[in-house]
Amino acid sequence: MKQKPPQRRVLLAELERRSVFRVSAVYGSAAFVLLEAIRLWAPDVGLPRLAVELAAVIAVLGYPVALYLAWRFEVSGEGVDRTDDASSGEIRERTGKHRVRRWAPGLLGVIGLLLLTGAVLRILFA
């Protein structure tokens, strides 16, 4: 009889399956680039400091919304559908991956979060 994988590993496999890590990486990276561009060009265009700070706040507030939408919905060639529950075999297959293959998506998601955090901190405290 196979042992059941630890609950944290099941959660991480589910986050990977639902593309939450991918959305975190893409959102964080895109927000970083956008916020840095706004920060650099705002003085030249004549945007007030409040507009730059507002962009940072909107980026921070949008992050959990993007993660929630990634968890609940999946985009396919047929449109946007609710994400179905995973079968136990699918979760077992994902949790059985080699350690490096399991951690890579999570690390990319964390890097996206760090990029977003860094950009917001530079705007709010610079």
Q: What is the pLDDT of residues 82-126, one digit of tens each?
A: 777 766 666 666 666 666 666 788 889 999 999 999 999 999 887
Name the domain count of the chain: 1
- What's the pTM value of the predicted model, to 2 decimals? 0.80
Question: Which pLDDT does position 42 carry in this prediction?
Answer: 93
- Amino acid at position 63, single letter: Y
68 assigned to some structural domain: yes
Query: Mapping DSSP to helix (H, G, I), strand (E, B) and coil, where does residue 29 land?
Result: helix
Q: Which of 32, 5, 28, 33 is nearest to 93 (CA)?
A: 5
Residue with tokens 């949008």: 62
114 assigned to some structural domain: yes
Q: Which helix (H) or strand (E) holds 56?
A: helix 49-72
1 assigned to some structural domain: no
80 assigned to some structural domain: yes
1 pLDDT higher than 50: no
Range of the domain at 121: 7-125
Mean pLDDT of the chain: 84
24 assigned to some structural domain: yes
In this structure, what token pair is assigned to residue 66?
């993007």
In which region does residue 77 sit, left (phi positive, over 0), alpha (psi from -120 to 50) or beta (all else)?
alpha
Q: Mean pLDDT, to the nearest integer, of 16-26?
A: 88
111 assigned to some structural domain: yes
